[in-house]
Amino acid sequence: MTELAAVKSALKTQAVETPSWAYGNSGTRFKVFAQQGVPRTPQEKLADAAQVHAHTGVAPTVALHIPWDKVDDYGALAKYAEDHGLKLGAINSNTFQDDDYKLGSICHPDAAVRRKALDHLLECVDIMDATGSRDLKLWFADGTNYPGQDDLRARQDRLAEGLAEVYQRLGDDQRMLLEYKFFEPAFYSTDVPDWGTAYVHCLKLGEKAQVVVDTGHHAPGTNIEFIVATLLRENKLGGFDFNSRFYADDDLMVGAADPFQLFRIMYEVIRGGGYTSDVAFMLDQCHNIEAKIPAIIRSVMNVQEATAKALLVDRDALAAAQRDGDVLAANAALMDAYNTDVRPLLAEVREEMGLDPDPMAAYRRSGWAEKIVEERVGGTQAGWGA
């Protein structure tokens, strides 16, 4: 197989999971902006996600958020997804939108609140059993706003105890993905503020506990690709939440703020052997002012472009330059790949997969946007908290 054929083959196997909540209404901290045609049910979210997969060919799974996507029959929801050419992906828990969680969830000083949060997480595992999902995604808003508000070490003890209980409930083929975020909504201390804290807890729990990297959850200037390389080296990278940030956790379209960073991350993924199904590549974005489905299609395409460029890096030339200490040649090996226009290559890949070479144009021609505006009248649109 030629080098170009190998790159094409790798691109055809790519899988980017889309999040159900990205299809609903979202906004800033001050207002949620409604759009016409937004889904009102989990089923309508899946129908929109099917459009993304139909036009990109690489978005076969959809992550759910509980209770936003709560239904009476999860097996039936999984069948609905299958009928639309999809599978249900990660189950995301929610321990941050209840008044009881004002001072935390599984790190809360009150045992009754901790129990409530843990029961929800265990319910999420039950849902995984019904949907056939592999991954339980955990992000905690737990933390404190003021020095002395709570005992920092005690909160870590509660966190470890709660995670251990959930870990024991996982099935043989299920995983726990622990996310981190350095601030917000807690401003003085956050209970899982960085990859090191997440790694330490996952290491203690065992092989089924992995760290998930949200690309928007880092301080300015953080070398995210170093974190990725380190976690892959330790076999503890479970997945990504792809998005972009300018200031804080902006949740913008991936690759919008710093496409070079996305390329560097994908290079380390490929270099470290992480371009496999063992690492979940998921979008986690809030489309506030842009149309939902086209924005998600664009995000998937951005991931594809960064991946294509990373696959084109001449790794032999890079390694030789690194061995020789040739700084400029080593940097040039990366920059040559990054500066390559891979859009014609990806158009060829899509045509070989039986797809339109331009997913955005194909979606516009499909009439789906007009159809959902006409049909989705009445009911309650999905959005934050729904």
pLDDT in the model for residue 331: 98
- 59/79 Cα distance (integer angstroms): 17
pLDDT in the model for residue 219: 94
Percent share of the chain, pLDDT over 70: 99
pLDDT tens readout for residues 60-78: 999 999 999 999 999 999 9
CB count in 10 Å sphere of residue 229: 19
In a domain, 147, yes or no: yes
- 191/182 Cα distance (integer angstroms): 9
pLDDT tens readout for residues 84-95: 999 999 999 999
Residue by residue, pLDDT tens for the chain (386 residues) are 679 999 999 999 999 999 999 999 987 777 888 999 999 999 999 999 999 999 999 999 999 999 999 999 999 999 999 999 999 999 999 999 999 999 999 999 999 999 999 999 999 999 999 999 999 999 999 999 999 999 999 999 999 999 999 999 999 999 999 999 999 999 999 999 999 999 999 999 999 999 999 999 999 999 999 999 999 999 999 999 999 999 989 999 999 999 999 999 999 999 999 999 999 999 999 998 999 999 999 999 999 999 999 999 999 999 999 999 999 999 999 999 999 999 999 999 999 999 999 999 999 999 999 999 999 999 989 887 54
Query: Treating both helix axes as pointing N-terminal to C-terminal, what angle do 292-311 and 42-56 enclose, rounded to 10 degrees?
Result: 40
CA quadruple 287, 290, 291, 296: dihedral sign: negative
In a domain, 114, yes or no: yes
Contacts of 207 by beta carbon, 8 Å cutoff, 6+ apart = none
pLDDT in the model for residue 1: 65
In a domain, 372, yes or no: no
In a domain, 169, yes or no: yes
Where do runs of H (alpha helix) occur along 170-221?
195-205
pLDDT in the model for residue 50: 98
Tokens of 310: 């990373």
- 76/346 Cα distance (integer angstroms): 35
Contacts of 114 by beta carbon, 8 Å cutoff, 6+ apart = 105, 106, 107, 108, 158, 162
What is this structure's pTM? 0.96
87-92/61-65 β-pairing: parallel
pLDDT in the model for residue 383: 85
In a domain, 375, yes or no: no
- Contact (Cβ atoms closer than 8 angstroms) between residue 213 and residue 228: yes
Domain that holds residue 74: 14-307
- 128/69 Cα distance (integer angstroms): 13
Residue 302 has φ and ψ, to the nearest 5°, of -65, -40
Q: How many domains does the chain have?
A: 1
pLDDT in the model for residue 385: 56
pLDDT in the model for residue 216: 96
Tell me the C-alpha to C-alpha distance, in Å, between residue 101 and each of 190, 283, 379, 382.
14, 26, 29, 22
- In which residue are the tokens 């290491």 written? 203
pLDDT in the model for residue 386: 47
Tell me the C-alpha to C-alpha distance, in Å, between residue 220 and each of 228, 245, 338.
16, 9, 22
CATH of the domain at 223: 3.20.20.150
- Residue 263, classed as helix, strand or coil, is helix
- 319/161 Cα distance (integer angstroms): 44
